[in-house]
Amino acid sequence: MKKSILTMLISLSALSLGTSAQAAPAPGDNFAYANEQFADIQMLRYKVEGFDRLSLRQKTLIYHLSEAALAGRDILYDQNGRYNLRLRDMLETVYRDYRGDRKSKDFQAFVTYLKRFWFSSGLHHHYGNEKFVPGFSEQWLRTTLRSLNYTLDEALYPVIFDPNVMKMRTNQKDGEDLVLTSAGNYYGPDVTQAEAEEFYAQRKPAADPRPIMMGMNSRLVRGQFGFLEENVWREGGLYGAAITQIIKHLEAAIPFAENPDQAAVIRRLIEFYRTGDLRTFDHYSIQWLKDVKSNVDFVNGFIESYGDPLGMKASWESIVNFKDVAATERAHTLALNAQWFEDHSPVDPRFKKKEVKGVSAKVITAAILAGDLYPSTAIGINLPNSDWVRRDFGSKSVTISNLTDAYAKAAHGSGMDKEFIIDEPTRQLILKYGDR
């Protein structure tokens, strides 16, 4: 739920109603927002305005938090599929060392496949979940790998080329075993949906007003003696090497924290990464919520459960950001006048609120995005996900201004405005004021 799901890409059909998918720069802005396109993807670029106005301390804090974000890259690849890291190594080797004709149809199809693999952190579509269909042949790949003296496990060829092998990353089809038929790496290959559901049902407390998010940070596998057990994602456990690097950069960030509350948040997150204890994660979430003074903020961890067909296990992601002061002030002005907008809204008076409450907003600038937030990213975030934490302590709801701005600017020249805006005077007003 908790993300605004409009993602940091625009489909080719959305970009172009005419002959070209390349959007023109916004009026008075020479920055190229629309970037490379391939398959069904149109990449966008975005600015990080305001960074130069931050203090050296804040910039250094963002640097270390950004390094912590980069350190988790391989976690998401492995979560998305048990063979993804091995396949990525093979694909990147071919791209780097290929000695044939790089303008050939097969190699160009291979490059498109690799870019899709990079974009989705694996061999399944980032949104549709279906497996990519390579535009090059198995024979071409075998011949290419032999020429590079690269040996790929025979079992991985069907993973690439057989449409019936690992065909969906996250299967939600009724009547099928959602765990066995999903290629995501949140469960062992022989664990069934019924077994997984029973495992967690037996461990769920009868009546806990503040339950942990059970199973959130682990892979459920069959152990040595046939019983199910959790491999916890923590330092010294599963993904331990990457998590150790994340911890190292988080520790480096502490001396540059803006205030004691922020330093305490980072320390609590490190404690969670070291122990894997989900109660510690709840404490971290509460401390993160209470830090409302910091200009720089971040998310780093196992957050959203969309990739798990049972909706329990969370993918890894990170964002480092700083407050967009001007946009936040504009949002605050709107919030202060929420009652006026409610009173004058064109709806039946029966449905208007007599007293508008709880309207607040914060606007941020993303400095870096990683894991499941990149490169297909949200334009807004509402966290944490724990129901009881939200109930008792609230949530942080933010809009990511430089991403929404990139969407708006990239749409200029696409033909969308001429198609859907009612008349030319209105279109000119939107061109002049719409992106402000």
pLDDT tens over the chain, length 436 residues: 445 433 444 333 333 222 334 445 555 568 889 889 999 999 999 999 999 999 999 999 999 999 999 999 999 999 999 999 999 999 999 999 999 999 999 999 999 999 999 999 999 999 999 999 999 999 999 999 999 999 999 999 999 999 999 999 999 999 999 999 999 999 999 999 999 999 999 999 888 999 999 999 999 999 999 999 999 999 999 999 999 999 999 999 999 999 999 999 999 999 999 999 999 999 999 999 999 999 999 999 999 999 999 999 999 999 999 999 988 888 888 878 989 999 999 999 999 888 876 556 789 999 999 999 999 999 999 999 999 999 999 999 899 999 999 988 888 777 777 888 899 999 888 888 876 5
Task: Please state which CATH class domain 59-81+183-318 belongs to.
Answer: alpha beta
Spatial distance between the Cα atoms of 98 and 100, rounded to a whole number of angstroms: 6
Q: Looking at the chain, which residues constitute the CATH 3.30.540 domain(s)? A: 59-81+183-318
Residue 28: how many CB atoms within 10 A of its CB? 5
Return all residues near 130 (Cβ < 8 A) that are at least 6 apart.
124, 167, 168, 169
pTM reported for the whole predicted model? 0.89
Alpha helices in 192-319 (DSSP H): 193-203, 240-253, 260-275, 278-290
